[in-house]
Structure 1
Amino acid sequence: MSDNWIFVLAQLQANRTPSVLATVIDDRGSTPRDSGTKMVVTADRQFCTVGGGHLEFQCARIAREMLGETRPGCRTERFSLGARLGQCCGGVTTVLFEPVIVALPHIALFGAGHVGKALVRILAGLPCDVSWVDSRGDQFPPQVDEHIKVIIDDPLDALDAVPADSYFIVMTHDHQLDFKLIEQILKRGEYRYCGLIGSATKRRRFCYRLGERGIGPDALARLRCPIGLEEVKGKMPAEIAVAIAGEIISRYNRLAALATDNTAACLEKRAG
């Protein structure tokens, strides 16, 4: 891979590899690299350089700590090269760390019916990873996109393996199975989105039963049912799928915007 950081980031994005961009934003005195120098760090590799030695070691360590965080935001670190790191140049360097390629949104879709099939066709073209779960293996198409992971298993058993902070979409062929899945997802609590296909009547019935099983009002308020953007009307599978995909896109774009705002806030704070 090239030592050009722009090319490196483009390659990592194409390969869906999370990384952190480390940029020298201030240099005072004798320092190994000037402001603007960049390094890209992944979980197991690093590209380009901010000067080598203990400084680079510490920058790589911080970046990998960020990669392990659920919701990484930007951060700055000031390094006194002589006093803190024991480097002979003895100047002061400030480094900005930006999670410019964070882990892609993970969507867990339960149900391979008509709407599920239509939805997967849309999700296949989006920057996300998808686990598609149904116990009925004959319901899946013979071929799916490479980042759609087909899981032929009992959905309740498969639920435990879904990563934290996923987007859950429940639309199985069985209302009772839908209920059990929603109950477990809400009890688990580690999700960015929990959507259930169905009507407002289905929601009222489910919420009443879930409340009897100890699910609190805050958790019930997070349940999306009916699912999908209200502005997108229609009852055809493709129309429902578009509405659901639109809602998911709006959710993860909102989170991406928050991350961008955090980066801007870091830079403003540094400039001030």
Structure 2
Amino acid sequence: MSFDLDALRDAVAAQGRVVRVVIAAIRGSSPREVGAAMLVWEGGQLGTIGGGALEFAAARAARALTQDRVTQHPLGPALGQCCGGAVTLLSEVYDAARLAATDADIGVIARAVGGADQMPLAVARLLARARDRGQQPEAQLIDGWMIEPVHRPAREIWVWGAGHVGRAIVGVLAPLPDIALTWVDTAPERFPEQVPAGVTVLPAARPEVLVPRAPKNAEHLILTYSHKLDLDLCHALLCQGFAFAGLIGSATKWARFRGRLADLGHGANRIARITCPIGDPALGKHPQAIALGVGAALLRPGRVEATELKEGLA
């Protein structure tokens, strides 16, 4: 888990004062892991620390806070939960001034909590590794200091097309913290009025010219309204390189595309790196059903290979 500084900045900008509640330590069974966090303000919250009763009590207490505090919560006896463990919660009050003073230059946020003062040697060593070697530590509470790596999405996914399926897929993937979404279509009016937070929208009359802007390790989902545009994007991606590319359509569409891509000079092995169809036929052809199937495949452990989505929407 990691410290989502962008989400905190957005919340402070919108709400003014926000309390960040993070699981700093656990003992025994816990509904969430160390580093799981939620943002709480008067009338709302974002994120979850899990546990139902634990989260409700922590959010209620956070709204009354005027200063940081560390609290211990035995989950069974105190809250009537079945976990049987205990969690340590760190609740920190943020406003614009505190946020501006938060040091995240080396990609780690470290601060003393609960009255601790001088930085322990163990913390100094972790920060030195992050600064000198780029080794990011896990979220943890050490000798009265809370250490958290700054959140950086591990995966970049580009969604090409803002039609029904594109909107459904963005809706499924946008809440996931380890995914950075870029959404492309031919004009601003193709996108919904409300785009999920954190999604980068790129309208372009010729979307294929944006392909070189995508990192070579990006993953792509091609879902446009036009077969010609789909083909242009497949061609551009095969020239550019990618970690994964999936194309919506039938087996017949893909057979035609394979022939056209071959005519454009792409070899069979390279063309086979594109997955078509996508989705899970057992879930049906409704846009949300397709989105669930695609999302599940993308979230399977390990690299998404072409074979994982091959038996998709026919």
Instruction: Give 1:102-251 correspondences, 5 Å limit.
Output: 103-127=153-177, 128-153=179-204, 154-189=206-241, 191-232=242-283, 234-250=284-300
Q: Quote the offset at 1:125 in angstroms.
A: 2.6
**Residue 59 (1) aligns with residue 118 (2):** no
Letter in 2 for 1:236: H
Q: How many residues align?
A: 197
Q: Quote the offset at 1:222 in angstroms.
A: 1.6
Give the TM-score normalised by structure 1. Answer: 0.59
Using the alignment, how far apart are the partners of 1:5 and 1:246 within structure 2? 27
Instruction: Give 1:73-112 correspondences, 5 Å limit.
Output: 103-112=153-162
Using the alignment, how far apart are the partners of 2:200 and 2:109 within structure 1? 29
Structure 1 runs, 4 residues or longer, greater than 4 Å off: 4-12, 54-58, 99-102
Q: Quote the offset at 1:207 in angstroms.
A: 1.1
**Contact 2:160 2:221 (8 Å CA) reproduced:** yes
Using the alignment, how far apart are the partners of 2:225 and 2:254 within structure 1? 16
Letter in 2 for 1:142: E
Letter in 2 for 1:196: L
Alignment CA distance shift 1:114-1:103 (3 Å): closer
Using the alignment, how far apart are the partners of 1:62 and 1:218 within structure 2? 41
**Contact 1:228 1:246 (8 Å CA) reproduced:** no
Identity of aligned residues (%): 32
Q: Which has the higher contact order (CA 8 A, sep 6+)?
A: 1
| Structure 1 alignment gaps of length 5 or more | 16-40, 68-98, 257-272
Secondary structure of the corresponding residue to residue 254 of structure 1: coil
Give the TM-score normalised by structure 2. Answer: 0.52
- Other-structure match for 2:94: none
Secondary structure of the corresponding residue to residue 121 of structure 2: coil
Alignment CA distance shift 1:126-1:44 (3 Å): closer
Query: What is the root-mean-square deviation of aligned Cα atoms in Å?
Result: 3.8
Q: Quote the offset at 1:235 in angstroms.
A: 2.0
Using the alignment, how far apart are the partners of 2:262 and 2:198 within structure 1? 36
- Other-structure match for 2:110: 47
Using the alignment, how far apart are the partners of 2:120 and 2:153 within structure 1? 24
Alignment CA distance shift 1:122-1:255 (3 Å): same
- Other-structure match for 1:79: none
Could you report, residue by residue, the CA deviation over 1:221-244 in whole angstroms, capped at 9, with x for unpaired residues?
221100123443x22222222222
**Contact 1:46 1:60 (8 Å CA) reproduced:** no
**Contact 1:229 1:246 (8 Å CA) reproduced:** no
Alignment CA distance shift 1:138-1:216 (3 Å): same
Secondary structure of the corresponding residue to residue 144 of structure 1: coil
**Contact 2:280 2:290 (8 Å CA) reproduced:** no
Secondary structure of the corresponding residue to residue 160 of structure 1: helix
Q: Quote the offset at 1:47 in angstroms.
A: 3.0
- Other-structure match for 1:33: none
**Contact 2:180 2:199 (8 Å CA) reproduced:** yes
Using the alignment, how far apart are the partners of 2:127 and 2:150 within structure 1? 20
Using the alignment, how far apart are the partners of 1:173 and 1:158 within structure 2? 17
Letter in 1 for 2:220: F
Using the alignment, how far apart are the partners of 1:6 and 1:138 within structure 2? 44
Using the alignment, how far apart are the partners of 2:287 and 2:169 within structure 1? 8
Letter in 2 for 1:139: R
| Structure 2 alignment gaps of length 5 or more | 4-19, 26-33, 39-45, 48-103, 112-118, 137-148, 305-314
Using the alignment, how far apart are the partners of 1:198 and 1:106 within structure 2? 23
Instruction: Give 1:23-38 correspondences, 5 Å limit.
Output: none
**Contact 1:5 1:47 (8 Å CA) reproduced:** no
- Other-structure match for 2:90: none
Give the one of 254, 258, 263 matched to 2:302: 254
